[in-house]
Amino acid sequence: MTEIRSVVLTPHEVIVDAPREMVFEMLTAFGRGRLPGSKEMSRVIEKDGDRLVVEFTTDAIYKTYTTVEEVTLYRPDRITFKHLDGPLESCDEVFTFEDLPDGRTLWRHTGSFRLGWPVVGEVVGRNVTKRWFERVMRKHMREMKEAIEARAARSHVFKRRSRGAEAVDRAPNDESGPE
């Protein structure tokens, strides 16, 4: 019997201009609506403390997929996702969050998956599914980054820290520098 090996996804990182706690909060708001223009959504099926079973609907270019995943929350550092049902035999993903010195957050995605077909599955997984998966994840992270940053700009709870020249407030008629 041929062992089916996992396909490892290329790690992807984005820097979000928001505090880590806010990034975590927004990424764990399962079942609370969707982003404008997005077909993606989630629904909490079961919740037991920091362990949830969530159904995700993902728009994957030409097709919409539904998966059921066990999600474990490690507030505010990490979220793990374990595939329970859907088009893949297995999939394990991790989001990690790291505070940056300037009040922003480094959000990192890692993961691996298996299609479940000996030999052919590994070839298709490495050459087709991996590219599709990574493209969908990059799009998701880009959309979520924009939504989180827009929310952070309005937040009274999660204040963003000032950063260098971007944070300088100048009063009208301030003659301390060029307009």
Instruction: Give tens-digit pLDDT for 50-88.
Output: 999 999 998 877 788 999 999 999 999 999 999 999 999
Query: What dihedral do alpha carbons 78, 92, 150, 156 form, nearest 10°?
Result: -30
Per the structure, the complete domain to which residue 152 belongs is given by 7-157
Q: How many domains does the chain have?
A: 1
34 domain-assigned: yes
CA distance 34 to 54: 15
163 domain-assigned: no
54 domain-assigned: yes
131 domain-assigned: yes
123 domain-assigned: yes
pTM for the full predicted model: 0.84
pLDDT at 62: 78
153: domain CATH number is 3.30.530.20
